[in-house]
Amino acid sequence: RHHEGHFTALPNSSIPSPRVALITGAGQGIGRAIALRLARDGYHTALDDMPSNKTALEETAELVRKRHSRNAITIYIDVSKEDQVGEMIDRTVRELGGLDVMVANAGVALLEPFIDSSMSVWEKTMNVNVFGIMLCYKHAARAMIAQGRGGRLIAACSIAGKRGDPDSAAYCASKFAVRGLSQSAAIELAPHGINVNCYAPGAIHTNLLDEVDKKYTAEEGEPVGSYIKKRAEGIPAGRVGTPEDVAGVVSWLASEDSKFVTGQAITVDGGTLFD
Ligand code: ADP
């Protein structure tokens, strides 16, 4: 199935506009918002999540089809397994006719005090947040090079990839690693017209933040929502971000307009952190 005609090449551009986007961790939150935004931008989408997240991912796919009339295929693989990532890329190219934008969004955030650091938390964090992104980049880049029309590799970083956070040593280390591997890949892939950039969100209002809020407010005996309110007070913009705030930045990183930007991690945090 090829889908010619949805995109027109820009005048004077030797690279046709991107057409197919693959988003991992697209079941909910930031990943779902990215999938819906890229579908709105005109991309057909391949959507990945863990098999345990099937209901949510199928819902994202339905939203892509109904709201934006774009194709959506769903793929259930673990991004930390190389053979599975290879299969995910092959299936995307086979069923959607190519791959132009890889958004390696899947990740885990496991918290523990540093002096209680456990190998299981560190291994899980590194497997998904570092090896998962490396594998998605590697196999997507190979497909893009074979295709010969450039592309975009985009990954989830965090403001925790730019400065330390309490109870987050493994998470911070993994997000710093994402920046390093992205910068290195950016240099090697630039001659192929493939740009490699990350988005680095601060506090974003997702289910995860609601859960943290619930836990915190229960422990402190405060009304629900007060943790989120407190977070918002520390942000110059006066609010926590939305998944759509992040998706807008990803939309730009995926676009032609970002073609001279590579190796960057764009902070999306309402003015909290300057680097
Ligand atoms: P956010 O707040 O960034 O939206 P989530 O935890 O909701 O955070 O999103 C991370 C996504 O990544 C989830 O949908 C989760 O199922 C997915 N994910 C986590 N680990 C893996 C993995 N090994 N392979 C594929 N997807 C994964």
Is pLDDT above 60 for 3? no
CA distance 261 to 52: 36
State ipTM: 0.97
Tokens, residue 265: 């991690």
Does 171 participate in catalysis according to the annotation? yes
Does position 12 have pLDDT exceeding 90, yes or no? no
Per-residue confidence (pLDDT) for residue 275, from 0 to 100 = 84
Backbone angles phi, psi at 132, to 5 degrees: -60, -45
Query: Hey, which of 37, 52, 79 would you mutate to test ligand 1's pocket, going by the most ligand atoms within 8 Å of its Cβ?
Result: 79
pLDDT digits (tens, 9 = 90+) for 224-261: 999 999 999 999 999 999 999 999 999 999 999 999 99
Task: Identify the active-site residue in 43, 137, 162, 175.
Answer: 175
Q: For 2-6, 85-89, 91-95, 140-144, which range has the lowest pLDDT when averaged over its residues?
A: 2-6
Question: pLDDT digit string (tens) for 113-125?
Answer: 999 999 999 999 9
The rounded Cα 217 to chain-centroid distance in angstroms is: 29
Output the CA–CA distances (angstroms, integers) from residue 198 to 179, 182, 264, in the order listed: 7, 8, 6
Name the DSSP class of 4: T
Q: Is 125 in the pocket of ligand 1 (CB under 6 A)?
A: no
54 labelled catalytic: no
24 touches 79 (CB < 8 A): yes
Residues 6+ apart with CB under 8 A from 45: 20, 21, 22, 23, 26, 35, 38, 39, 61, 64, 70, 71, 72, 73
Does residue 208 line the site of ligand 1, with CB under 6 A?
Answer: yes
Select which of 43, 171, 199, 227 is catalytic: 171
**What does the pLDDT average to over 93-107?**
97
Query: For the ranges 6-15, 90-99, 115-124, 167-176, which has the lowest average pLDDT?
Result: 6-15
- Atom number in ligand 1 closest to CA 80: 23
Q: How far apart are alpha carbons 191 and 237 in whole angstroms?
A: 38
Whether 18 has a pLDDT exceeding 60, the answer reads: no
Going 37 to 40 to 44 to 47, the CA torsion angle's sign is: positive
pLDDT band at 168 (very low <50, low <70, confident <90, very high): very high
Average pLDDT over residues 46-74: 98
Query: So what's the pLDDT on residue 8?
Result: 41
The DSSP secondary structure of 140-195, one letter per residue, reads HHHHHHHHTS-EEEEEE--GGGTS--TT-HHHHHHHHHHHHHHHHHHHHHGGGTEE
pLDDT band at 11 (very low <50, low <70, confident <90, very high): very low
The alpha carbon of 31 and the centre of ligand 1 are apart by a number of angstroms equal to 8
Burial of 235 per CB tally in 10 Å (0-12, 13-18, 19+): middle
- Whether the per-residue pLDDT at 2 is higher than 50: the answer is no
Gap between the Cα atoms of 73 and 18, Å rounded = 17
Beta-bridged to residue 156, according to DSSP, are: 199
pLDDT at 5: 37
Tell how far the Cα of 113 is from the centroid of ligand 1, in angstroms.
22
What is the pLDDT confidence band of residue 208, given thresholds at 50, 70 and 90? confident
pLDDT of residue 9: 40
- Indicate if ligand 1 lies below 6 Å from the C-beta of 168: no
- Condensed to tens digits (0 to 9), the pLDDT of residues 20-31 reads 999 999 999 999
Would the CB of 240 count as within 6 Å of ligand 1? Answer: no
d(CA 158, CA 165): 11
